[in-house]
Every structure is written in C-alpha cells, then in structure tokens.
Structure 1
C-alpha cells in the first residue's frame, strides 16, 4: 500500500492547516479538498488566506471526485453525517481513512459505513490555528497521533506513517491509541468548553482564576470517567495537557471559542455530552461538565 494523494473533507482550521503542510512539501497535486455539491456551489469564489497568502489548493465537488489514496476527515462533528455521504465517491477498495474530528465517536461512525479495514484511530493536537472570516493563521502545526484499531489491516499504519513523513506532517504512531484519544478528549472538555463558555483565550484558561479552575475541574472529571471506562488516565496526563495549553499563544483560542465568535454550532455533544452520558452509566458526578453543557447550549440558543 502506497499513498501519493490525499483528499480532505473540511476546509476549516484543521483541514486547511494540514492541507497546506502537505502541499508545501509534496506539491499542490498531492492534496485536494472535496465538498458536497451544494456546499461547493455556496462557496464558489470564496477567498481564503493562509497566514496572509491566498489558498491555492484545488477544491472539487463530490460529483467530480474520484477515489483517493487517503481520505482525511477534518470537518466539525456536526458535519460528519454529510461528510459520510460525500466520501462515497472518494473511498475505493484500498483507500485509507483518518478522522481528525474531536471526540471519540467519529471513527466508529465512519467504520459503520466503510469498514475498519483501512480506518485508523487518530487525534490532532497542539496546533494554534485560528480560522475566522476566511483567514487562517497559525504558528504551531501541532501533530497527528494515530494507531490501528483492532480490525485495521496491518499495512495501513505503516503506509500512513510513510506518507506523513514524506509530506512533512508532524506525527506519532501510538501503540495505545485509545489512551491518546481519551487524553485529547480530556483536554478538549477542559480547554474548548471553558474558552467557549467564558469567551476567553488560552491565556485566561492558563492563569489562576475562575477560567483555570473550570478548565482543570472539567479535565479531572473526564479522568474519572475514563478510568471507569477502562482507560488508564493519570494526573500526569492532566498536567501534560495543562502544560501544552500554557505553551500556546495566550491570545489564541480553541475551535469552540472561535465558534462562539462566528456563532457556529459547537461540538459540545462530543465533549460534555459524551462525558455526562458515560458518567451517568457509571454513577459518577460530573458537575463541571454538566454546567458547561447547559451553559454552552444556552449560549447557542441565544443566537
């Protein structure tokens, strides 16, 4: 199995960032953005810039797309259902699939449609990308961490590793990918939801104060729920995630805070929505995530 070309679904912060990295290293022929036909028509003529330079990568409608070596799903969670339909034209018998959608549920939904054979489990973390009003800015590319699911064929992970190496995409192959997925879920439940709920950036969440208390408390509840689910999350994991946020631009903001500015639907169901449901199953109290879920929903409804 050899990967030469990637099709990316999702022309937001994550999709634009990694598409740009791939194109800068392998050339513009190595990556294409794909949209469903209706969305493609709505976005015709849209001007997008990457760190001040115009986006030069091709975008095609699904009706004109052909099977790709690799499909990178980089939509927001609410857009996954439409993305699955769009992928019908992109997924061939040997197409690899990697999802960079937040949360721990997207790969299962993808595999229900296209199977686990060529699907891996993955997260993207550490980037400081901000995408507002058609302009993407970033200084940290972060990294993609991925690993095989139980039913992933053995040649898929090495093929992805080789492609990301050639494409200059920072990445790590994880032996225990479920631990990494839950660590990222813990981070997102803390930082994404706190910054959305308080309308703040990374700096406010890292300094002593109400925002920092919320950030840490939400993560600690995820730690408890994860351990009940059989994931060996630790205080060291929590501290590493807090240190990661402290290393980012204090004026930067995570995706849900950007959603608040742009008045877009958030991924709250993937974070506190998931944690509250699992906590109920295990009889665990999660007051911080419960408050975050309710407060974020109230903000969305006010729009």
Structure 2
C-alpha cells in the first residue's frame, strides 16, 4: 500500500509593524494595523500595556476594541521587522535613535507620523538605508492612559501617504483597519498644506491656552490667516503649489475641528512637556531665510514659543 503525500503549504507569516512612540497618534495608527491582522510590536514603552485601545468620539463614531500587543525591550528585537511607525514628536527623535538605527536596512520602511517639515531627513540621519515615508495625519487624538487613545476625525481623510509601490500594502492595511487613507504624487504640496494648519493652530492655541474652538472667533481667525499667508509664500518658494484658496480652505477645515479638541502642542504645554515648535515654526523660519523671505509673525511666534520652559522632561 502506497502512502500518498501532499504538498506542504506553510501558513502565511503574520505581518508585523513596530511602533516607536506609543503616544496618541501612534496608538491610532498601530490600532488600524492591528485591526487589519498585523502584529504590533511596541518599542521601549515606559509603561508597558497588554492591549491597545482606541475610543472614537463624534458623529458616526464606532465602538472601541482591544488589540493585543507585544513589547520589544531592546532594539535587537527588531532584527526581523520590516515596517515601523515613528510617532514621537520631532524633537524626541534623537531619544529613540537606537530603535531607528535597528531599522537601517534597505528592506525596511518607516512611516514618519510627525508634524512640520524635515520628517524623512530626521529618519535618514539614523537609518539612511531604510525607506522613509511621511505620513500626514489629519485626525485629532489624545492619549487617555498607557495604550489608550481618544480619536476625533476631522474632514474626509485621516492619513495621507506618498503614492508609490512602497505604500500600496500599507495603505490597504490601514484602510482595512478603519482609517481613511489617501495617497498623493505631490507630497511637497500635501506637507505644506498641512503645515498651513499646524503653523497657526498649534502655536496660537498653545500661546492662548485655548482649545480649537477658539478658531471660530473672528479676531483669532484674522491672526491665523496672517500667519498662514506668510507660510503659503514660503511653501511656494519651496515648490508647493499653494494659493490663497489653500489658506481659506485650511481655515474652514480648522473651524470644522470639534471645539473641545486640543492641539498636540497645547497638550504638551498643559502637561509641562517640551514643545514641538522647531519642526513647525522653526522649520518655516529656516525655509524663509533660505529664500530671503520675511515672515515677521512666524518669527515672533518662534520667539514666544522658545521662551516657554517645560516643567518636566
């Protein structure tokens, strides 16, 4: 009697994503990967957690769910990881340098979910062989506890990624996980358009200590418009296809933000943490200097923000 044999098919390996920076934004993005069936590896968390949870509020909000995570204690544990999310604030990038260096391989892709400019340049300083991919975030998020984030969606898009073969599977996974993802060929214009919002909303709410509802007050709107008009001129010089209409549309978008939302920079000031002003206003001023442009309001804001002293590291 013959023994019949059948070809062995190894089960498909579960895709894995490393989360470097388990703050409000990073948790939302990681949760989308987890919902799509990816394994989430949290890197160097100060307060480890067994599950991550995102609670969505607002119109059409879905119910939160818990997703298991694993923790990496040392960068050596990322040896087999090919996808990562860097979601620390721009000024904290050097603090997680060892984790980024561990991904310095040609087959590694790093989603950089940071505000402002120069995202990929910061990653390339530590992982020049890896592919850095800017991830432009449009949702509002606040961390409520270790592993827990509150999500408020704003407008029709949650995340924008570069349109390339390097992002096809990532975009599909994030959409399967519940995030509304778009891709763009012209990321320069996308980055500077988002910077219009960040240049006004983050610094101005931080300086006045108000939530985003202040964006609906006429005097505040006038100031925000002046700040963004300066930024639009710098963005044009940097190659972004910005017009006065982008300023108007950005103001309208900011006024659609739930009024009880807090910008990330305001959250940091209220918690006494260092502020992410250099990657936003600082980068705008540096770009203006490269092109010989005058940006007096942004320069004033930069001086005011730099004078704020954190009360905790």
TM > 0.5: yes
Normalising by structure 2, we get a TM-score of 0.81
Decide whether aligned partners of structure 1 residues 174 and 264 sit closer, same or farther in structure 2, where only a CA change above 3 A counts.
same
Decide whether aligned partners of structure 1 residues 9 and 302 sit closer, same or farther in structure 2, where only a CA change above 3 A counts.
closer
Decide whether aligned partners of structure 1 residues 240 and 57 sit closer, same or farther in structure 2, where only a CA change above 3 A counts.
farther
1:16 to 23, 27, 30: 27
The answer as to whether partners of 1:103 and 1:271 remain within 8 angstroms in 2 is: yes
Q: Gapped runs of 5+ residues in structure 1? A: 149-153
User: By how many angstroms is 1:80 displaced?
Assistant: 0.9
Normalising by structure 1, we get a TM-score of 0.84
- Structure 1 position 265 matched with structure 2 position 277: no
The answer as to whether partners of 2:137 and 2:159 remain within 8 angstroms in 1 is: yes
1:65 to 43, 61, 77: 77
Q: 2: distance between equivalents of 1:160 and 1:53?
A: 21
The answer as to whether partners of 1:33 and 1:57 remain within 8 angstroms in 2 is: yes
User: By how many angstroms is 1:22 displaced?
Assistant: 2.4
1:155 to 151, 154, 165: 165
Decide whether aligned partners of structure 1 residues 262 and 53 sit closer, same or farther in structure 2, where only a CA change above 3 A counts.
farther
Question: Which residues in structure 2 correspond to 1:78-97 (within 5 Å)?
Answer: 78-97=91-110
Q: 2: distance between equivalents of 1:11 and 1:22?
A: 14
User: By how many angstroms is 1:263 displaced?
Assistant: 0.9
The answer to which structure has the higher helix fraction is 1
1:185 to 187, 195, 201: 195
- Structure 1 position 289 matched with structure 2 position 289: no
Which residue of structure 2 lines up, in the alignment, with residue 43 of structure 1? 47
Structure number with larger C-alpha Rg? 2
Number of aligned residue pairs: 288
Q: 2: distance between equivalents of 1:133 and 1:121?
A: 26
1:172 to 141, 160, 182: 182
Q: Gapped runs of 5+ residues in structure 2? A: 1-12, 56-63
RMSD over aligned CA atoms reads: 2.8
